[in-house]
Copies of this chain bind each other. A is one copy, B any other.
Amino acid sequence: MSGQSHRKFESMDAPADAPRSIGDLAVATGTKAETIRWYERVGLLPAPARQGRGNYRTYGKEHLDRLSFLRRARDLGFNLEQVRALLDLADQKDQDCAAVSVIARAHLDAIERKLADLTVLREELRRVVGQCQHGRIDECRIIEALAPGMKEARQSGRRSARRG
């Protein structure tokens, strides 16, 4: 599973929570080393010890767990502000989980709004794309649909929202 040969923190019995290099952690979590360092810089991962002669970062199981949590939350589309809040909450084990639920539901709502927006957009685009008859550009319905009033305004004054 993990690297052999000349990897730094390779212990022979490999107790699964043995110290890891940043490269090991990267492989284990599917995260680039640069991203892991960046998470550290912005305070999402605690700075690990530096043990080797070469000032290398040395990670333990707590880092692996925290980074795995972070990445899974990112995969679910939570932004880093939300992830930060979730990580903080996950540490307060005896608190009520209401705040967790609030964050997750807010994110779900946002996704549903985005889905609704995209669905509208898809229909509009399908209509536009479907009208192209593949002729000259000055007769192309796609271009016409984008140029309201360049020949004649064909559509009523609709106006979509764009990020807001």
Contacts and interface: CB of A to CB of B under 8 A. Distances in A.
Contacts of A105: 129
Nearest to A78: B146
B104 A115 contact: no
B75 A162 contact: yes
A122 B108 contact: yes
A143 B111 contact: no
Given A118-B115, A125-B76, A160-B75, A93 B138 contact: yes
A72 interface: yes
Interface of A: 30, 65, 68-69, 72-77, 86, 89-90, 92-98, 100-101, 104-105, 107-108, 111-112, 114-115, 118-119, 121-122, 124-126, 128-129, 132, 134-140, 142-143, 145-150, 159-160, 162
10 contacts: A68-B149, A69-B147, A89-B143, A97-B137, A100-B142, A108-B122, A111-B121, A115-B115, A115-B119, A118-B118
